[in-house]
Amino acid sequence: MLFPTTCILPACIVLVSLTLSAALNLTLPHQHPDPEAVVQDVHRRLNASLSRRLLSSSSSSCGTGNPIDDCWRCDPNWASNRQRLADCGIGFGQSALGGRDGRIYVVTDSSDSDVVDPKPGTLRYGVLQEEPLWIIFSADMMIRLKHELIINNFKTIDGRGHNIEITGNGCLTVQDVSNIIIHNIHVHDCKPSGNTNIRSSPTHVGFRGVSDGDGISIFGASHIWVDHCSLWHCKDGLIDAIMGSTAITISNSYFAHHNEVMLLGHKDSNAPDSGMQVTIAFNHFGEGLVQRMPRCRRGYIHVVNNDFTEWQMYAIGGSANPTINSQGNRYTAPVDADAKEVTKRVDTEETEWTDWNWRTEGDIMVNGAYFVPSGVGLSAQYSKASSLEPKSAGLIDQLTLNAGVFGDPRDTSGISNPGFSGAGTTTATTADGGGGNGSNGGDSDYFGMIFGSDAPPAHSSATSILLSLLIILVLDTITNRGALLSLQLLTL
């Protein structure tokens, strides 16, 4: 396309922007032009963390191989440098700044009695401010919301060091804003509410209809990162991202006791959702879940290194031709013989979805689970995924070891509401990163030599460690996929 030789500068900028967006097939302003490059960047970061863990001394390292956690947890002074977390994101939401460049705001009051004129010191007062803020808490808190909590631009809600629960009416709303980080928070038992005036900024109070009752509702927003949260038992979705939301990462979180877990995309006919790009990494989809982990409409969804331990209907579903890139996950099917399939094309005939790009690479299928791929190269990918042995799952165990709020119990604890321990998150406050070095409970997998307790295991040797490292580094150099393929090779 030829541009006019003379034009008004703003008009030229708009014209060039529109032309480039059309050429790159972009539908949203914050959509990445090359999603595969973002996927490869996740691989590189994961492989770098695994390599550092291999090279480090077992007696001094706090690294786990999880690139997000290893970025900040090994700093014994992390509590004095909290905003460093904003530089640790991966995937499509890695550019979320949150309140990195702003002041620290301390929540000292757990009440939420006034949604129009909230008191200073409350969470609501902090999240509605115009300036960037890094929001922390002075003590353990149960915050029972009166109505939905509307979060303004450039905010971080950081619950590290305390046990923070958000529950009640509406819960967290991220609407038409950008650069939000939500970290180390319990979100549960959220209910619909509304038909009232709610303040969303220091200068705006508006009437809100009835909310859906999502745990976290992302609406027309971009550069969003949800990390190390524990979510369960809400009226609608635990996390929903709709209406042209993009540049999102959901990582290291724990989901339990819920039906429709995660919705990505408003409806099949909503064209802006074609630009939705979401990374779902290192999460644990735990007990009592039914479906939608996630359920996708349009967009590009990268599902990488998650542990799916329970579903009753399906794990990953979709309609309206979303791209699903499933890599290095573990899918454990339920006992029900009719629910073994990981995937579900919702209300769509096979003749329509056969060309959809649903990929599986390096996934581990347990208890009869199977992933039905589609699109280019499906036969080779399906064969590769189905032939993997479950013993290589040690890497998934390690990467998702601390999924959810730090210090929370896991499924086997007997707690009725996993994700809430009823005590402070002391694990996150230890000088060496807390539970990052814990053993995997004596599992006889070969990843113990890398990710086990600080004491060197008897069956490993320096030679085997160096050989494993060499294999990973060579594969990363040649194929740029060392992180995924190491899942298989380190078990040889």
Residues labelled catalytic: 292
- For 395, the token pair is 């890497």
In 3D space, the residue among 162, 207, 214, 212 whose CA is nearest the CA of residue 188 turns out to be 214
Q: Is the peptide bond before 192 cis (omega within 30 degrees of 0)?
A: no
Query: How many Cα atoms sit within 13 Å of 459 on the Cβ side?
Result: 10
Could you tell me which of 316, 317, 367, 305 has the C-alpha nearest to residue 340?
367
Specify which residues 324 forms β-bridges with. 301, 358
b/e burial code for range 225-262 (CB count within 10 A of at least 16 → b)? bbbbbbbbbbbbbbbbbbbbbbbbbbbbbbbbbbbbbb
Give the residues across from 219 on adjacent strands.
175, 242
Q: Which pairing describes strands 239-242 and 262-264: parallel, antiparallel, or unpaired? A: parallel
CA–CA distance, 137 with 184 (Å, rounded to integer): 11
d(CA 310, CA 296): 19
Going by C-beta distance under 8 Å and a sequence separation of 6 or more, which residues neighbour residue 474? 482
For 235, phi then psi, to 5°, come to -65, -40
- For residues 352, 353, 355 and 358, what is the CA-based torsion angle, rounded to 10 degrees? 170
Is residue 295 within 8 Å of residue 274, measured between CB atoms? Answer: no
| Pairwise CA distance, residues 114 & 119, whole Å | 8
